[in-house]
Amino acid sequence: MEENKIFSKVFMWMFIGLLITFGVGAIVAANENMVYNVFNNLYIWLVLAQFGVVIFLSARLQKMQEITATILFVLYSALTGLTFSSIFVVFELTSIMMVFGITAAVFGVFAFIGYFTKMNLLKWHTYLFMALFGLILASLINMFVGNSTADLVICSIGIVIFVIYTAYDMQKIKLLSSTMESEHKVAIIGALELYLDFINLFLYIIQLIGKNRD
């Protein structure tokens, strides 16, 4: 498969996913009743649904039909948008736009590095997974401790982890484009992985420098 064609589709679907997520988030945030229902009645179920969809999609992608993979990707983007609406409630719109631009710039730099580097980033898989697991564990612990300094450290480490993941996933997509038969499936799984990198980068950066609403 032609790499340029594959990456064009990857970034197209990634953009569609981000558009759905930010669009759904903005719509929900504009409606007080929807915000109340999402965060008081549905939140835990939405989070579980997100985990379920992304795990199923990642694990079964190569065996499922292309249309099923596409639907699940769109569904995951929409589910994320529902929980993502808190960003529009907590932070100023100008701050969200600024952080989105910063995230796009940082993401672009490391995507470029991942695509062109001759270094084998794929061998870092175990270390990245361990770092991500540690980050999640530290975040969960700090939810109960509520230490602001720890929050800053966790956000900073999270940014480092996901910029490396961005470069790693770009290299991984290059490998998939030469080993998987379905061009569309490569585009969907690549879009999903880069989408997750972008969303996590955005969340950590906005927690670090975002301006809260008064």
DSSP secondary structure letters along 40-57: IIIHHHHHHHHHHHHHHH
Mean pLDDT of 143-171: 92
Contacts of 202 (CB under 8 A, 6+ apart): 99, 100, 103
Range of the domain at 21: 3-209
Residue 149, token pair as written in the block: 């300094």
* Residue appearing with tokens 């490391």: 110
Residue 214 domain-assigned (yes or no):
no
pLDDT tens figures, 40-80 = 888 888 888 988 998 888 888 778 888 998 999 999 999 99
* Number of domains comprising the chain: 1
User: Distance between CA 120 and CA 80 in Å, rounded?
Assistant: 32
Q: Whole-model pTM above 0.85?
A: yes
| The predicted structure's pLDDT at residue 143 | 83
Mean pLDDT of 87-92: 92
